[in-house]
Amino acid sequence: MESRKRESWIDRLNVIAVFGVILIHTSGSLLYSFNKEPIFDWWIGNLFDSMARFSVPVFGMIMGATILRNEYSIGTYFKKRGLRLIPPFLFWALVYLSYDASAKFYHGWNPSYVELFFWVGSQVTKGIAIHFWYVYLIVGIYFLLPWLKWGLRKLTDSSLSFVLVSWFSLLLVQFLFLNIDHHPNYFTYLICFLGYPVLGYYFSIKTLKSNRFAMVLLFVGAGITVFGTYYSSLFAGVFKEEYYSFISPNVALLACGVFLLVKNSRIENRLFTRIQNTISKHRYGIYLVHILVLWLLGLVGVSSRLITPLLGVPLTATLGLIISLGIVLVLNKVPFGKFFAG
């Protein structure tokens, strides 16, 4: 059994992180308009996208803050994670495949059974939907965390600090020289990302009350992301997204700042806490369905360009979160829905 009572700040981080993911996928369409549309629109997209880049790393840090601190048997651990991860993934994968196939059928696609089989295989290999790559990643992370926990328990504080400094140095080297994120290899990316659970574990067992330090990390990380993206795009003449990488050192700094600020926060409002806990509980289902929701919102004209991107991005992202949560809550009410809704 996992022994620790869940802290409220972890639920807050889950809410902020899942909204950040939706914000990224809402604002992303504006970024490829660099040098093609009004620069104001691009800058709005860049600001929202840059500020939300903490989201996926923070999810990794939450894993470390929860799983690496808790006590559990290996059998219980893999059973719980497997049931939590796989059935919702398979259900939503089928939904996205059906949606894509229906669109192709509508436009005259008439494949043979063999062609349909290979198309499904190709979609699964590519990730099915643009955000499913993260599910593939956390399969590897979940597999490694029990052994990582065993190793961390043997480290002294100074050794753990050395591991984290070495990991950040690795991020810096890969960003400057290897560019792993844009020449993806599953295992190299996994190794680079694996530092986030260790970092979350470290922050969760240490008392770091300085919000000033957290704000410095946040603004330095965000500033490098915002202006690094702009100037690299300006020099290249096209949108360049290297600074957006989840395994870039600037995004790591941003994620650290957000994590520490939220960890040190205190919110006592009962209604807020209830909403927060509901979103946190269903974050996985929200993550899986939100791309479909954003697609459907786009069909009715609700997107990042609604009225003005300054309004369209946050409004569309907020609607995406609310509707995604609503879908997951409804599915949880149907028989066996809680096993596949997420």
The per-residue pLDDT for 180 is: 58
Instruction: Round to whole Å and give the CA distance between 111 and 148.
Output: 46
pTM value surpassing 0.75: yes
Instruction: Round to whole Å and give the CA distance between 188 and 104.
Output: 35
The answer, yes or no, to whether residue 73 has pLDDT greater than 80, is yes
The answer, yes or no, to whether residue 181 has pLDDT greater than 70, is no
Per residue, what are the HEC states of 119-136?
A: HHHHHHHHCCCCCCHHHH
Per-residue pLDDT band at 295 (split at 50, 70, 90): very high
Per-residue pLDDT band at 248 (split at 50, 70, 90): very high
The answer, yes or no, to whether residue 129 has pLDDT greater than 50, is yes
Span of 209-213, 229-233, 254-258 with lowest mean pLDDT: 209-213
How long a stretch of residues is the chain? Answer: 342
Domain ranges of the chain: 8-340
- Per the CB < 8 A criterion, the answer to whether 222 and 50 are in contact is yes
The tokens 């643009």 sit on which residue? 130
Q: How many CA atoms does the CB half-sphere of 7 hold within 13 Å?
A: 15
Instruction: Round to whole Å and give the CA distance between 157 and 202.
Output: 9
- Per the CB < 8 A criterion, the answer to whether 241 and 34 are in contact is no
